[in-house]
Structure 1
Amino acid sequence: MELVWATEDLVIAGQPYPGFPMLLWDSMESCVQVNQFFRHYLLRGAIGSERSWPSTGRALYDFFSFLQAHEIDWCEVDRGEAKGLVAAYRDYCLVTCNLAISTTRQRLTYICKFYEFALKEGWVNRLPFAYEEHSLRRESGFLAHIHARGGKVMANDVMPRSHKTLPKFLSMAEIKLLLNAVENPHHGMMMRLALHTGLRREEIASFPRAYVFDPVKTGRTERNLRIRLDPFDGSGMLTKGSKPRDIYVSRQFMAELYRYVTKVRGERASLNEAPQKALFLNQSGKPYGDDGKSINRIISETGKRAGIKVHTHMLRHSYATHTLVSLQRNPESGLEPLVFVQRQLGHSSIQTTMVYLHLINEMADEAVLAYDDDLNELAEAV
């Protein structure tokens, strides 16, 4: 029998779970233990965003397909071989498939969680890997004093060592090249929204028309205007984990968004009889898909014309990096730079935002002026 990756729509205690991952045999017989693990691991909130659930299913599907191809039973953890099941799959990912270390680590995380669940349920008599104590290299810096791990951490022995890779971002010169390569005003405004706010691609795709207003008519005089991103306000806004948050948009850029709505957006809005909630519409007059993958393709293709390798998340990194540097160079703003960027990006933990501190510490000492002002000047020149 062949293994099949599938999804199903569940309703549990009145709560809908569309696209829930499942593993089946081609006879449509359920892989009972794996699917029981899915229900335990995912429904208890181990992964906050339901849009991340499919990666768990695909990881286990690939692992079980690997075992099936080599005629190995997943519960044969006492095979007496020097290399265990999970370690063999790790090497297959890294050597045969040439997968990135981060991708391999993500897959192994779910696989190891499955075996821990299997041990708890009595399906196996031991884990096919071991845990060992590693020394935690503690870096001095912001919040270093609050770590409570005692310098030690437990790690399983099948995980490949991760190499810290800093996020890639665009320099101001590269941003100028990218915006100059834009051939479509709708695409250009999407990119500028990403560069001015650091929104994720699904947030750009669902950003509501209702959030755009004329700052002159409303009498708003603040330099930066606060916008509430709220998935529960009926506007259609999507955020990671459906968590509301406030972001700030410069008054000048809000005026440009309003100009886009009144002068440009109508071209596409008129292609669809029903009014659309999303700010950005595709060439058929409909919103882009929730995951924003088509937006990523648009940005990537524009980057190719500019001679730059770029994707949507790189625009988010660019926003975070330049904004953090700008705030650090302008302490009179009264803002705590790291906290501001954390809230703007919607990071649950400030530790996630701290990667940009490492990044700017490695940057050359270039003169980075106020990021938002630079972007507005570039837009006027384009």
Structure 2
Amino acid sequence: MELVWATENLLIAGQPHPGFPILLWDSMESCAPANQFFRHYLLRGAIGSKRSWPSTGRAMYDYFSFLQAHEIDWRDVDRGEAKSLVAAYRDYCLVDCSLALSTTRQRLTYICKFYEFALKEGWVKRLPFAYEERASRHAIGFLAHIDSRGGRAMANDVMPRSHKALPKFLSMAEIRLLLAAAENVHHRMMIRVALHMGLRREEITTFPQAYIFDPEKAQRTERNLRIRLNSFDGSGIKTKGSKPRDIYVSRQFMAELYHYLTKVRGERASLNKSPQKALFLNHSGEPYAQDGKSLNRIISEIGKRAGINVHTHMLRHTYATHTLVSLQRNPTSGLEPLVFVQQQLGHSSIQTTMIYLHLVNEMADEAVLAYQDDLNALAEVV
């Protein structure tokens, strides 16, 4: 029998769960242990974003296919071989398939979780891997002085050691080239939103026009204006995990957004008879797909014209890095730069944001001007 990967639509507690991964044999018989694991692991919220569910299914499908091709039972954890089942699959991914280290680690994470679940259910007598103590790469942070781990942590011994590369970002010169190459005014404004706000791809494509207002008529007089991103306010914005957060936008950029909304957006809005909530519409007057993958293609193509290798998330890294540099060079009373950037980006843990400190250190010897001021100045020449 051949293994088949598919998805199904589940209705749980009255709520639809589309795209739920399942494994089937070619006889359409369910691969029960794997599917029982899916329901346990995914539906209890171990993975917050449902868009990540398919990758879990594909990882399990690929592992079971690997075992099937070698005529090995997944429960045969006491084979007496020097290399365990999971370790053999790891080397197959890295050596035979030349998969990226991050992709291999992601797959192994799901597979190891499956075996931990299988052990708990009594399907196997032991795990096909062990745990070992490794040096922890966690950055020094708040309360680090009372951390009793001594820089060590327990890790899965089949998991390849990670060598996480620093995120890439654009210099101000590259930003100028990118914006100059964006001849389409709608595309250029989406790029500027990413650079000014540090939004995720999905947040850009679902950013609502309801959040835009004329700053000249606002009672607030601050230089930066606060916007509340809330997936439950009826505006249509989609944030990661539906978590609300506040972001700050300069008055000048808000004025440019208001001009775009009232003077430019109508060109595309008129192509569709139905009113749309999203600020940005495609060439047919429809909202972009919520996953925002088309935005990646648009920005990548603009980058090629500018001679720059760029994608949407790199613009988010660019915002974070330059904003952190500006705040550190021009400290504001009562504002902690790293915490501010964490809140703007919507990171659950400040450890995630601390990666940008390494980038800032690399830029320490460069003459970096205030990021928002430079971006605002670009509007006058582009």
- The equivalent of 2:13 in structure 1 is 13
Q: Residues 276-316 of structure 1: CA distance to partner in whole angstroms, max 9, x if unpaired?
A: 01111011111111110000110001000000000000000
- The equivalent of 2:184 in structure 1 is 184
Amino acid of the residue matched to residue 372 of structure 1? Q
Give the SS at the match of 1:241. Answer: helix
Conserved 8 A contact 1:327-1:333: no
- The equivalent of 1:171 in structure 2 is 171
Conserved 8 A contact 2:174-2:308: yes
Q: What's the RMSD between the two structures over aligned residues?
A: 1.4
Counterpart-to-counterpart distance in 1, 2:214 and 2:333: 25
Conserved 8 A contact 1:105-1:160: yes
Counterpart-to-counterpart distance in 2, 1:220 and 1:273: 35
The 5 A counterparts of 1:150-161 are 150-161=150-161
- The equivalent of 1:66 in structure 2 is 66
Conserved 8 A contact 2:139-2:354: no
Q: Which moved further from structure 2: 210-219 or 194-203?
A: 210-219
Q: TM-score, normalised by structure 1?
A: 0.97
Amino acid of the residue matched to residue 79 of structure 2? R
The 5 A counterparts of 1:1-382 are 1-136=1-136, 140=140, 144-382=144-382
Give the SS at the match of 1:22. Answer: strand
Counterpart-to-counterpart distance in 2, 1:307 and 1:141: 38
Percentage of identical aligned residues: 83
How far the C-alpha of 1:369 sits from its partner, in A, is 1.3
How far the C-alpha of 1:334 sits from its partner, in A, is 3.3
Q: In 2 relative to 1, CA 19–140 (structure 1 residues): closer, same or farther, beyond 3 Å? A: closer
Give the SS at the match of 2:217. Answer: coil
Conserved 8 A contact 1:50-1:241: no
Counterpart-to-counterpart distance in 2, 1:333 and 1:266: 41
Counterpart-to-counterpart distance in 2, 1:313 and 1:139: 23
How far the C-alpha of 1:110 sits from its partner, in A, is 0.5
Counterpart-to-counterpart distance in 1, 2:266 and 2:160: 52
Counterpart-to-counterpart distance in 2, 1:326 and 1:193: 18
How far the C-alpha of 1:331 sits from its partner, in A, is 1.2
Counterpart-to-counterpart distance in 1, 2:139 and 2:243: 30
Q: In 2 relative to 1, CA 280–92 (structure 1 residues): closer, same or farther, beyond 3 Å? A: same
How far the C-alpha of 1:322 sits from its partner, in A, is 0.2
Amino acid of the residue matched to residue 249 of structure 2? V
Q: Residues 154-208 of structure 1: CA distance to partner in whole angstroms, max 9, x if unpaired?
A: 1111111111311000011111110010021110000000000110000101101
Amino acid of the residue matched to residue 197 of structure 1? M
Q: Which moved further from structure 2: 141-150 or 338-347?
A: 141-150
Q: Which runs of 5+ in 1 are unaligned?
A: none
Q: Residues 79-106 of structure 1: CA distance to partner in whole angstroms, max 9, x if unpaired?
A: 2111111111111111111111111111
Give the SS at the match of 1:120. Answer: helix
Amino acid of the residue matched to residue 154 of structure 1? M
How far the C-alpha of 1:273 sits from its partner, in A, is 0.5
Amino acid of the residue matched to residue 157 of structure 1? D
Q: Which moved further from structure 2: 327-336 or 194-203?
A: 327-336
Q: Which runs of 5+ in 2 are unaligned?
A: none
How far the C-alpha of 1:25 sits from its partner, in A, is 1.6
Counterpart-to-counterpart distance in 1, 2:328 and 2:88: 47
Give the SS at the match of 1:361. Answer: helix
How far the C-alpha of 1:236 sits from its partner, in A, is 0.8
How far the C-alpha of 1:74 sits from its partner, in A, is 1.2
How far the C-alpha of 1:140 sits from its partner, in A, is 4.5
Counterpart-to-counterpart distance in 2, 1:148 and 1:283: 57
How far the C-alpha of 1:139 sits from its partner, in A, is 5.0
Give the SS at the match of 1:331. Answer: coil
Counterpart-to-counterpart distance in 1, 2:223 and 2:52: 36
Give the SS at the match of 1:16. Answer: strand
How far the C-alpha of 1:51 sits from its partner, in A, is 1.8
Conserved 8 A contact 1:138-1:144: no
Give the SS at the match of 1:154. Answer: strand
Counterpart-to-counterpart distance in 1, 2:325 and 2:92: 41
How far the C-alpha of 1:147 sits from its partner, in A, is 3.3
Give the SS at the match of 2:216. Answer: coil
Conserved 8 A contact 1:181-1:303: yes
Counterpart-to-counterpart distance in 1, 2:181 and 2:306: 6
Amino acid of the residue matched to residue 317 of structure 2? H
Conserved 8 A contact 1:84-1:129: yes
Counterpart-to-counterpart distance in 1, 2:35 and 2:294: 31
Counterpart-to-counterpart distance in 2, 1:140 and 1:48: 27
Give the SS at the match of 2:215. Answer: coil
Amino acid of the residue matched to residue 352 of structure 1? T
Counterpart-to-counterpart distance in 2, 1:112 and 1:132: 14
Amino acid of the residue matched to residue 272 of structure 1? N
How far the C-alpha of 1:124 sits from its partner, in A, is 1.1
Q: In 2 relative to 1, CA 234–88 (structure 1 residues): closer, same or farther, beyond 3 Å? A: same
Give the SS at the match of 1:9. Answer: strand
